[in-house]
Amino acid sequence: MAAASVIEARELSLTFETADGPVYALSKVNLTVHDGDFVSFIGPSGCGKTTLLRVIADLEQASEGAITVNGMTPEEARRQRAYGYVFQAPALYPWRTIERNVALPLEIMGFGATERAERIARNLDLVNLRGFEKKFPWQLSGGMQQRVSIARALAFDPKLMLMDEPFGALDEIVRDKLNQQLLELWARTRKTVVFVTHSIPEAVFLSNRIVVMSPRPGRIIDVIETNFPKDRTLDIRETPEFLKVAHRVREGLRQGHSYED
């Protein structure tokens, strides 16, 4: 299966100049993400996983190396609305109802009213939030708000989803449920997903490739392929194969840390 590559990073480095001297957020990162991949970046805080995602999204610019998104520079890709981004917090606009929050990217990208209504209905369905159209964000629980933000990112149907610890602030029960829903969504829509997390079970359960990262300087220390069935459920987390992969991720994370502890 030689799918086309969506993201190509070669010797990518990013250094922040701060008052206390340079911070090496990313150092010589090489990465290829193929069409239809579900790739997770996992690592402790400060390992550059969020920074790498933000570079892909053109919310941050690399200082060295090359990166392409859909064969373009990240800026061109952003201007062509190549990706949907889901942040750590829902970042819904409190003065807009749920449906108008989902409509936000559609308004900006110039979709007509009937097209908007159809896409709002379809994507709120996808995240099981029908019937909440007229509510305001602050009337919903944290998990529901994050699902709205996923519906909003899906609304304009980007091929690429960039998700930055979207479930990090949620409790474990809600997180499990959303993980299952996200996996089903991925299997159904055939999108490419790049997912940042610091939860090992989450990364192993969701991804077909796990990128293990380590801090100071932020770099990739291991890339693990998994091949669990596409229709897997949360029960898979008890199986030996799952635990084996999780163990390898944990080993990688431990190696990354060893020389400084």
Partner 1 sequence: MIAALRHKRFAAIGLLALSGLLLWLMAHLVTARPGILFWIGVLVLWALVWIGNDALSGIRTSSPLTTRLRNLAVPAIFGLTLLLLWQLAVKGFGIPLVLLPAPSDIWSKLITSLPTLAADFVQTFLRAVLPGWALGSLAGFLVAVLCDAWGFLRRGLLPLGNLFAALPIVGVAPIMVMWFGFDWHSKVAVVVVMTFFPMLVNTVAGLQAAGHLERDLMRSYGASWFDTLVKLRLPAAMPFIFNALKINSTLALIGAIVAEFFGTPIVGMGFRISTEVGRLGLDMVWAEIAVAAIAGSAFYGIIALIERVVTFWHPSYRSRKDP
* Interacting residues toward partner 1 by CB under 8 A: 57-59, 78-81, 83-85, 87-89, 91, 93-95, 104-105, 107-109, 135-136, 138-139
Longest Cα–Cα distance in the chain: 58
Q: Find the shortest distance in angstroms from Cβ 149 to partner 1.
A: 9
Q: What are the angstrom distances between the C-alpha of 180 and each of 41, 58, 175, 218, 258?
A: 18, 29, 9, 30, 33
Angle (nearest 5°) at CA 82 between 118 and 74: 160
SS3 76: helix
Contact present, 206 and 182 (Cβ < 8 Å): yes
CB of 10 to partner 1, least distance (A): 23
Least Cα distance to 40 among 223, 215, 184 occurs for 223
Of residues 91 and 221, the one with the C-beta less far from partner 1: 91
Residue 217: cis peptide before it, omega within 30 degrees of 0: yes
Minimum CB–partner distance for residue 167 and partner 1 (Å): 16
Q: Which is nearer to partner 1, 85 or 186 (CB)?
A: 85
Residue closer to partner 1 by CB (options 158, 215) is: 158
CB of 212 to partner 1, least distance (A): 26
Q: Which of 59, 90, 85, 94 is nearest to 74 (CA)?
A: 59
Two tokens at 155?
């609304």
- In the sheet with 5-18, reading across from the earlier edge strand, the strands are 21-34, 5-18, 64-69
Least CB distance from residue 9 to partner 1, whole Å? 19
Q: Which is nearer to partner 1, 147 or 209 (CB)?
A: 147
CB of 140 to partner 1, least distance (A): 10
Question: Whose Cβ is closer to partner 1: residue 109's or residue 236's?
Answer: 109
Return the number of the residue (102 or 245) whose C-beta is nearest partner 1.
Answer: 102
